[in-house]
Amino acid sequence: MKILINNHLTKQKKQKIFDTFPDDKFIDGPFTQENIDTADVIIGNPPLHFQLNQPQLQVLLLNSAGSDAYCKKGILHPDTVLCNASGSYGKCLAEYTVGMMIAVAKQFGYFASLQQQQKWGSRIGGKEIWHSRVLIVGFGDIGYECAKRLRAFDCTLVGIKRRPALKPAILNELYTLDALDEQLKTADFVILALPQSDSTYHLINKERLMLMKKDAVLINVGRGSAVDTNDLVAVLQAGHLFGVALDVTEEEPLPASHPLWQINRVLLTPHIAGSFTWPSVREFFIELIITNISCLHDHKPLINTVDRTSGYRKKTVYQK
């Protein structure tokens, strides 16, 4: 097979793939139309201005968990299999999520501002994660990795999935989206780990934000479009919610004039939680690529195959 590889892997990591498949021809170079026109497999995220609808392209192996841009009609040939990199980002995003839960609960942002002013301060208050009820909306790889780490805090862990599924042992409770409104009412922390799709757009709006406890904490590490930003600002300005941590927003970069910057109960980071630079991401991704190329050679189903109609993976496998 002719395999075009173009992503941020180091030379050493790429060499591991090359050595595993000595009979395949690898093109380690830039995305060009000429390279795409002859590739049987592409590893990476080719820009959409290229003509990707190619009958010879068997598989597109993305290095991102998000795949919505490639699911649009006409972008890929109907026979091309699309696979995302789900599983690669769970560990780093879970670390970020737990870190932000602690930062918001213990008001680190407030104390950091005092430090900049060289003030000791005496503010008392905050929240504990211990024995709290944590609702994870979008219980895939990220949610699973979050749950594993939050077990150490003796939390009650509740997951929300799109479709009915067997409850993993790591969770105390598992529901479908039909139960979202009821579960928002009782959660102390709400973690959003949703992909971008028509069904998740503005899933969290003013009505649902107001269903949450007045002192609840909202963390979004999925897609910014899952939260109606204008509604979030209005709810926060009305004094609802203890705090919010956002690694993603509807508009990125977030304009300097946006009111979210001025709300001291909000912690913002510029979509850095799931960077491909983290070692855990690269290690998992390498093994995923090797497994999928092997499956392709052996005519076996590939891992992380995306249903281009729904934008979701056809099957979720939790990493132990």
**Catalytic site residues?**
223, 252, 271
Helix H segments across the chain?
Answer: 11-20, 33-38, 68-71, 90-105, 108-116, 141-150, 180-184, 206-211, 229-237, 279-297
What's the chain's length in residues? 320
Q: What DSSP assignment string belongs to 49-109?
A: TS----TT--EEE-SSS--HHHHSTTTS-TT-EEE--TTSSHHHHHHHHHHHHHHHHTTHH
Q: Which residues of 119-130 are buried (b: 16+ CB within 10 A; e: fewer)?
A: eeeeeeeebebe
Cβ neighbours around 178 below 10 Å, total: 9
DSSP class of residue 226 equals G
23 and 40 Cβ atoms separated by less than 8 Å: no
Which residue, among 211, 204, 260, 219, has the nearest Cα to 127 in the 3D structure? 219
